[in-house]
Structure 1
Amino acid sequence: MEGIPPAVAWPPLQTLMRLMLALAVGLFVGLEREWRGKEAGLRTFGFASLLGGLGGLLGPPYAILAIALLGVLVRFLNWQSLRANQGAELTTSAALLVMGFTGVLCGLGHVVTPAAVAVTSAGLLTWKERLAGFSHQITAEELRSAILLAILAFAIYPVLPAEPVDPWGLIAPRAAWVTVILIAAMGFVNYLLLKLFGARGVELTGFLGGLVNSTVTVTEMANRVRETEGRLQEVAYRGVMLATAAMALRNAVLLGLLSYKALVNSAVPLALILLSSIGLALVRTLAGPRAPEASTPTLPLKNPFSLSSALKFGAFLLIFQGVGTVGQSLMGHAGFYAVSAVGGLVSSASAVASAASLCAHGMLSPTAAGVGAIIASLASAVVNFVLVARVSEQRALTLRLGWALGVVFTLGVVGAFVQTRLEGLLH
Structure 2
Amino acid sequence: MDLQQIEPFLVALAIGLLLGFERERSHSRKLPAGSRSFALLSLVGAVAASFNLWSVIAGMVCVAAFLALAYLRTSQQDPGTTTEIAAFAAYLLGALAYTKPALAVALAVIATVLLLSKSRIHRFAREIISEIELEDAIKFFVVAFVILPLLPDRPIGPYGVLNPAKVWLLVVLLTGIGWIGYIGVRALGPQRGLLVTGLAGGFVSASATTASMGRASRGAVGYRAPLAGALVASGATFVQLLLVIGVVDVEVLRRLWLPVTAAGVVLFAVAFFVYRSAAAEQRREPAPDDTTGSTPTARPFALRPALILTAVLTVALLIGRWGAAVFGPQGAIIAAFAAGLADAHAGSVAAASLAAKGDITVDTALIAIAAALGSNLLVKIVLAFTAGGRRFGLGFLAGIAGPAIVFGAALAVVVNTG
Q: TM-score range by the shorter chain?
A: 0.7 to 0.9
Is the CA contact (8 Å cut-off) linking 1:23 and 1:46 kept in structure 2? yes
Alignment of 1:398-409 (within 5 A): 401-409=396-404
- 1:227 aligns with 219
Aligned residue for 1:417?
412
Correspondences of 1:115-126 after superposition (within 5 Å): 115-126=105-116
CA–CA distance in structure 1, aligned partners of residues 254 and 328 of structure 2: 23
Q: Normalising by the residue count of structure 1, what TM-score does the alignment of the two structures yield?
A: 0.84
**2:41 corresponds to 1:48:** yes
Matched ranges for 1:53-202 at <5 A? 53-82=46-75, 84-87=76-79, 89-108=80-99, 110-136=100-126, 137-166=128-157, 168-199=159-190, 200-202=192-194
**Counterpart code for 1:97:** F
Distance 2:123 2:358 in 1: 56
Number of the residue aligned with 2:18: 28
Partner residue, 2:209? 217
The answer to whether the 8 Å contact 1:223/1:391 transfers is: yes
Residues 266, 374 of structure 1: 8 Å contact kept: no
Shift, 1:207, TM fit = 0.6
Q: CA RMSD in A?
A: 3.0
Change in Cα spacing, 1:68 to 1:360, as seen in structure 2 (3 Å) is farther
C-alpha distance 219-97 of structure 1, shift in aligned 2 (>3 A) = same
- CA 1:60–1:169 in structure 2 vs 1: closer, same or farther (change >3 Å)? closer
Residue 4 of structure 1 corresponds to none
Whether the 8 Å contact between 2:245 and 2:349 is mirrored in structure 1 is yes
Change (3 A) 1:340 1:309: farther
Q: Which runs of 4+ in 1 moved over 6 A?
A: 286-289
Contact 1:385–1:405 (CA under 8 A) maintained in structure 2? no
- 289-298 or 304-313: bigger deviation: 289-298
Identity within the alignment, %: 25
The Cα shift of 1:145 comes to 2.4
Query: What aligned pairs does 1:360-379 form with structure 2 within 5 A after superposition?
Result: 364-379=360-375
Instruction: Look up the equivalent residue of 2:258 and give its one-letter code.
Output: V
CA contact (8 A) 2:317 2:341 kept: no
Counterpart Cα distance in 2 of 1:258 and 1:356: 6
Matched, 1:311 2:302: no
**Structure 2 vs 1, CA of residues 167 and 389 (structure 1 numbering), >3 Å: closer, same or farther?**
closer
Q: Given residue 416 of structure 1, which amino acid in structure 2 is its aligned partner?
A: L
Shift of 1:408: 0.2
Shift in Å, 1:152? 2.4
With over 3 angstroms needed to count, the CA separation of the structure-2 counterparts of 1:355 and 1:49, relative to structure 1, is: same
d(CA) in 2 for partners of 1:329 and 1:264? 31
Taking the aligned partners of 1:148 and 1:248, their CA distance within structure 2 comes to 33
Q: Counterpart of 2:205 in 1: which secondary structure?
A: helix
- Provide closer, same or farther for how the CA distance between residues 361 and 134 of structure 1 changes in structure 2, counting only shifts above 3 A: farther
Residue pair 2:155, 2:161 contacting (<8 A) in 1 also: yes
Work out the CA distance in 1 between the residues paired with 2:71 and 2:55. Answer: 24
Deviates further, 283-292 or 171-180:
283-292
Distance in 1, Cα, partners of 2:285 & 2:214: 23
Q: Distance in 2 between matches of 1:294 and 1:52?
A: 61
| Distance change >3 Å, CA 296–CA 43, structure 1 → 2 | farther
Partner letter of residue 317 of structure 1? L
SS at match of 1:171: coil
Change (3 A) 1:35 1:248: same
Conserved 8 A contact 1:270-1:374: no
CA distance in 1, matches of 2:187, 2:108: 28
Is 288-297 or 18-27 further displaced after alignment?
A: 288-297
Describe the superposition over 1:178-212 as per-residue Cα deviations: whole angstroms up to 9, x where unpaired: 21221121112212222232212111111111111
CA drift of 1:265 comes to 4.2
Q: Tell me which residue corresponds to 1:7.
A: none
Aligned residue runs from structure 1 range 318-333, under 5 A: 318-332=314-328
1:348 matched to 2:344? The reply is yes
Could you give the per-residue CA deviations for residues 251-302 of structure 1, whole angstroms, max 9, x where no partner exists? 2222233444443443222222222112223355568974449967655523
The alpha-carbon distance between structure 1 residues 148 and 70, as it changes in their structure 2 partners (threshold 3 A), is same
Structure 1 residue 347 displacement after superposition:
2.9
- Paired AA for residue 160 in structure 1: L
Write the deviation string for residues 210-266 of structure 1: whole angstroms up to 9, x where unpaired. 1111122122222222222xx533323422321121111122222233444443443
Change (3 A) 1:345 1:61: closer
Matched-pair contact (CA < 8 Å) for 2:332–2:368:
yes
Q: 3-state DSSP class of the match of 2:318? A: helix
**1:251/1:373 contact within 8 Å kept:** no
Match of 2:242 in 1: 252
Partners of 2:360 and 2:407 lie apart in 1 by: 22
- The 1:384–1:329 alpha-carbon spacing in structure 2 relative to 1, beyond 3 Å, is closer
Structure 1 segments unaligned to the other structure (5+ residues)? 1-10
Give the partner amino acid of 2:34: G
CA distance in 2 between counterparts of 1:113 and 1:302 reads 39
Report the CA distance shift for 1:301/1:50 in structure 2 as closer, same or farther (over 3 A): same
